[in-house]
Amino acid sequence: MKKILIVDDHSDIRRLIRMSLEFEDYDVREAATGETALLMALEWQPDLVLLDVMMPGHIDGLEVCRCLRAEAAGQARPRIIMLSARGQACDREAGLRAGADAYFVKPFSPLQLIDRIADLWAVV
């Protein structure tokens, strides 16, 4: 069973994503801050992290992404899809430079997100 960590400070966004994923055979967990997300990801080792860029606290989504990439060097690394209200080209580039596999701008289509998840896992 694939493990997915949803990271967003808005519970309604986490709930929307969880409901979109519930028809698949995924083990889904949630985090509301970058700090919690980083600790959970390092301990639980999800296959995919759906990661908001702007979050409260000292660690934003870009930093979580960079840390996960640094920690996973030389081993199986989680796929990371950034989710953000910031949709300018420079924002997308920053997400991809941080190590994200994909970048979605809010509001996004849950069906497109599910399709992108399937695409990421189809590429080995």
Q: Are 32 and 63 in contact (CB under 8 A)?
A: no
- Considering the domain delimited by 2-122, tell me its CATH architecture: 3-Layer(aba) Sandwich (3.40)
4-17 residue pLDDT tens: 999 999 999 999 99
Computed on alpha carbons and rounded to an integer, the radius of gyration of the chain in Å comes to: 13
* pLDDT tens, residue by residue, 69-123: 998 665 678 999 999 999 999 999 999 999 999 999 999 999 999 999 999 988 7
Domain edges within the chain: 2-122
